[in-house]
Amino acid sequence: MKTSLKQTQMSNWKEGRKILLGVTGGIAAYKIPGLVRLIKKSNCEAEIILTNSARNFVAPMALETLAGRGVWSDENFDASIPHIKLTQWADVFVIAPCTANSLAKVARGIADNLLTSAAVAATCPLLIFPAMNENMYANKATQENIKILLDHGVKIIEPSDGALACGVSGKGRMPEPDEIMLEIFKALHPVHDMTGKKVLVTAGPTHEYLDPVRFISNPSSGKMGAAMARAAWYRGAEVKVIAGPVEINSYGFDVVHVTSASEMLEAVRENSAWADYIVKAAAVGDYRARSFEPQKIKREHKEFLTLELERNPDIAAEVGKLKRPGQILIGFAAETQNVSANAREKLARKNLDYILANDVAAEGSGFATDTNTLRLIPKDINKAEKIFSGLKEDIACEVWSDVVSL
């Protein structure tokens, strides 16, 4: 199968992509209007093919309204050869949900309707989301068909365990539309050059509790770490995230949640040997309360409250000490002054390979924003420094392009 759009600019590789969406007659088709909305919201185009059976599960008019164009079905399977034209148009062909029946047909090259004919004709990447009752999924014939498709280079997204429409709980659930969208973007990513690589990312703030109800922290949202993690996942890496107390879209990642800097250090120590790349994007608190008050500190009769703080462990420096040959360490430096000089000093002191210097005082940069401006400083002084500005998720793609190619 052809790798689509190798020459796509990394910063806009998601925009305007052409998604051919095949919908078959499974109950999970009720989720498809939500998916079409997300495709449109992402500024991508969708052409939709329904099997006759799918029309019983999702109304063509709902999909036409959301897609802003007509949908295709066997009624249009005529001399205009839509099965060829649609697959030539598409950057990716997604079948969601895919019934046991359609899966079997595509695996065996049976082209007896518009959707299966298009699947047999497709030269773009084919992404299939099987969804069915757990016994149908476990059936030997279905499993053999999946194996055939995998051998043919088709990407199959395993259904998850959960409540199924047939009233039982088991393996057969189609992912939610936002998760399908992530898989589509992964399939569309211009390169998968981190396949087989393991990436450990720390993200978010830490909370250092003073008493049971109060903590010291910072405004980190975890967005930059999450963007680095997602961008590595799009490129094919296996990703583990150690996250402070923030919400991270964890689809496709293994996430370890921690609260304090000490817990984060412990989790990093446990996982650091596993990783080929370690990205230290968490905003770890530098200090914690010297003593934790087991009862809530009362305000009565206290005009002033003095806190005694002690220094937290330096996680990046600890990881630097544990670094094994070939492992790449990427740190972040959030600074408000002398950004470059301070970042260079950290790079050397913490045994990092790269540091991303971040002027958190600059407009639209730093904590809790969707945008950032970062200076990528390599340890190797023969390599050029680069400045990236824009959406955090776009910057993350550019950073990996640089780090992986170097």
Q: Which helix (H) or strand (E) holds 335?
A: strand 328-335
Taking the complex as a whole, how short is the minimal distance between the CB of residue 177 and ligand FMN, in angstroms?
A: 16
Torsion angle of C-alpha atoms 192, 198, 199, 200, degrees rounded to 10: 160
CB atoms within 10 A of CB 159: 22
Taking the complex as a whole, how short is the minimal distance between the CB of residue 210 and ligand FMN, in angstroms?
A: 52
Number of residues that bind ligand FMN (CB under 6 A): 15
Q: Is 22 in the site for ligand FMN (CB under 6 A)?
A: no
Q: Is 67 in the site for ligand FMN (CB under 6 A)?
A: no
- Taking the least distance from each CB to ligand FMN, the nearer of 38 and 104 is 104
Q: Is 145 in the site for ligand FMN (CB under 6 A)?
A: no
**Which residue is it, tokens 């998760």?**
179
Q: Is 312 in the site for ligand FMN (CB under 6 A)?
A: no
CB atoms within 10 A of CB 31: 18
- Taking the least distance from each CB to ligand FMN, the nearer of 168 and 297 is 168
Taking the complex as a whole, how short is the minimal distance between the CB of residue 295 and ligand FMN, in angstroms?
A: 55
Whether 388 contacts 373, CB under 8 Å: yes
Tell which residue, 384, 329, 331, 328, has the closest CA to residue 358. 331
DSSP 314-351: -HHHHHHHHPPTT-EEEEEEEESSSHHHHHHHHHHHTT
Q: Is 99 in the site for ligand FMN (CB under 6 A)?
A: yes
Q: What is the DSSP letter of 90?
A: -
166 in active site: yes
- Taking the least distance from each CB to ligand FMN, the nearer of 32 and 132 is 132
* Gyration radius (Cα) of the chain, Å: 25
Taking the complex as a whole, how short is the minimal distance between the CB of residue 137 and ligand FMN, in angstroms?
A: 8
Interactions with ligand FMN, residue window 35-54 (CB under 6 A):
51, 53-54
CB proximity list for 132: less than 8 A, separation 6 or greater: 26, 97, 99, 100, 142, 159, 172
Which of 44, 124, 166, 397 is catalytic? The answer is 166
- Taking the least distance from each CB to ligand FMN, the nearer of 32 and 248 is 32
- Taking the least distance from each CB to ligand FMN, the nearer of 170 and 225 is 170
Whether 21 contacts 39, CB under 8 Å: yes
Taking the complex as a whole, how short is the minimal distance between the CB of residue 189 and ligand FMN, in angstroms?
A: 29
Three-state DSSP at 26 gives coil
Find the part of the chain contacting ligand FMN (CB under 6 A) among 19-27, 81-89, 209-217, 360-368: 19-27
Residues that bind ligand FMN (CB under 6 A): 24-28, 51, 53-54, 99-102, 131-132, 136
User: Which residues have a catalytic role annotated?
Assistant: 166
